[in-house]
Amino acid sequence: MPYIGASLADGVEPMGRPKPKATNIADALGKKSDRVVEITAQPLSPNTPAPEVVPNPKNAATEFLDRATHAAMSKVTKGLSPAALAEAYLDWLVHLATSPGKQMELSEKAFRKWLRLSRYAMTCAAPGNDAASCIEPLPQDRRFQGDAWQKWPYNLIYQSFLLNQQWWHNATSGVRGVTKQHENVMDFATRQLLDVFSPSNYLLTNPEVQAKTREEGGQNLVRGFKTWLDDLERQQNGKPAAGAEAFRPGHEVAATPGKVVFRNKLIELIQYSPTTDKVRPEPILIVPSWIMKYYILDLSQRNSMVKYLVDQGYTVFMISWHNPDAKDRDLGMDDYRKLGVMDAICAVQAAVPGNKIHGVGYCLGGTLLAIAAAAIGRDGDDPFASLSYFASQIDFTEPGELQLFINDSQLTFLEDMMWEQGYLDTNQMSGAFQMIGSADLIWSKIFHSYLMGEPSNMFDLMAWNADGTRLPFRMHSEYLRSLYLNNELTEGHFKVDGRPISVTDIHVPVFSVGTVKDHVAPWPSVYKMHLYLDTDLTFVLASGGHNAGIVSEPGHKHRSYQIANAKHDDRYVDPESWAAQTPTKDGSWWVEWASWLGERSGASVAPPSMGKSLADAPGTYIFQK
């Protein structure tokens, strides 16, 4: 799942639940209230302590029972709220049941599809006839592209499946009165359910698997069964995927030389050793996402962004996040801002005094960097020379299919799941992500690994993806409610140190990257920075997805990008028009970014001295399990 934002001053308890607010004296005195509140007759000044709230033991017991029940349910549903799904289903069902016109339309569509399929079946069953397909798969659907699928009876099987899928899409969309989010949930959930019965998933209905089985005498199924047993055993014991052990941090990955020069309870700050005689005076501080280990930006030597920057003559600092556990349950968003970004900025300024910083944020790290930069800009002391954001959002009104899982019901269920243990671990957050990427994460694996007996080869990015981290209860709850649910950052309601911040207070040049196939931070949502930032903004749309589109080093085959700069006073161009009018370039966007940084950096100087070494890179936090 995504990841939290109001502070205790905004009426949020450490448990992440809103405090009840009294609307009058009678309510405050507790008409059948579950809380006892001491009331003062005098108006409260800003420095007067808040009235003491005494929990009702009976209420605490019932709340404990509710939370424990939801936590137990979450182990079966992988964090998805049954209530949220039921709410969407009932909204759709009741409106459809009272819409006779829609029912007539669906009946007519079903009859027409039956006629088309019947005509197709009669034609393609005759020898030598090459019948035109009833329906073509969507461009991204590659399940039925092989020649074997065009032969009877498999052509009839997959055509009937696609027609059925199309009918259900018509049934779950366009029902008047259904809440838009509920419509999207129904369409999405129905598509996921139908995909379970895709003919490509089963031996008896997949001609490609049958051909492979005949060719190998069933050995593909034997290998697939062994792979399945190994995956099951690893999942049960909390082990990483097979082959991940060949990519060890500090050896095969995260191997760029450097030193840990600062450490607190939340971060280690790594300063990388220079590889050039001269460096740009402005250091680079990278704030990665804390949902995974930082070394996606320092993978193998061939595709390490850190190594690329160091070789370009930059002094690079990287935050490595502590992997939280139960004792960190009350760490909040403000802790991540202060102990993470602000402490890192102070450490960089101490190591390279007198120079502005190029701030870089990736995914959630970019959102946190924007929050910190807006707060700094509000208070008038700006340490940045520029800011770069990779697949990062500041507006969350259109966060893609993740929005399907963001509502009060789902977040309450998720909070109760985290409440039991104090954090959210990788397995618990996998439910939503696996559903969103089911074509690649579930069904493609079943086909290739278990049916065809061709397990995928482990590589650096896949090994990094298996090296997950946990998320503190309070931080994750705040992030989801303040940003994803309430969109407080761009609406001017997000508070830092008790006062609202605005991203319009960010005035340094910005370089923002979105990726074409991003399901976590869809590029039109990333592009919305054009609407809110009052500064020059260079936007890049890179090929690939949320991770692979960022790890796009020079020389990487089949990579392309679009890039354009917008001045702060230019007229707004919508994302569709921008994509249509911006030319596509082959190659890596890293080269453009390095040039952009160079234009905003001073003349090269001798490298700064390395800070006091607390450990060799990649440090100690990276090894926390």
Q: Which of 130, 168, 175, 169 is nearest to 151 (CA)?
A: 130
**Highest-scoring range by mean pLDDT, 92-106, 239-253, 387-401:** 92-106
Residue 536: its pLDDT value, please? 97
What one-character DSSP code corresponds to residue 537? E
| Mean pLDDT within 494-507 | 95
Global confidence as pTM: 0.85
Find tokens 């960089």 and name the residue: 348
Rounded CA separation 245/263 (Å)? 27
Please write down the HEC assignment for all residues of 362-373: ECHHHHHHHHHH
Residue 405: its pLDDT value, please? 78
Confidence band of 109 (pLDDT split at 50, 70, 90)? very high
Per-residue pLDDT reduced to its tens digit, 429-458: 555 555 555 566 677 888 889 999 998 889
Residue 153 has pLDDT above 50, yes or no: yes
Q: Which residues contact 86 (CB under 8 A, 6 or more apart)?
A: none
Polymer length of the chain: 625
Rounded CA separation 541/584 (Å)? 9
Catalytic site includes residue 346? no
Start-to-end CA distance of the chain, whole Å, equals: 19
3-state DSSP call for residue 181?
helix
Residue 433: its pLDDT value, please? 57
Residue 24 has pLDDT above 60, yes or no: no
Characterize 134-144 residue by residue with b for buried, 16 or more Cβ atoms within 10 angstroms of its Cβ, and e for exposed.
bbebeeeeebb
Residue 58: its pLDDT value, please? 59
Q: In the predicted model, what is the mean pLDDT of the chain?
A: 87
Per-residue pLDDT reduced to its tens digit, 548-584: 999 999 999 999 999 999 999 999 999 999 999 999 9
Question: Cβ distance 351 to 261 under 8 Å?
Answer: yes
What one-character DSSP code corresponds to residue 280? -
**CATH classification code of 258-397+487-623:** 3.40.50.1820
Residue 419: its pLDDT value, please? 83
Residue 184 has pLDDT above 50, yes or no: yes
Confidence band of 49 (pLDDT split at 50, 70, 90)? very low
Rounded CA separation 53/600 (Å)? 53
| Mean pLDDT within 168-176 | 96
| Mean pLDDT within 462-481 | 91
Residue in 124, 134, 346, 363 annotated catalytic:
363
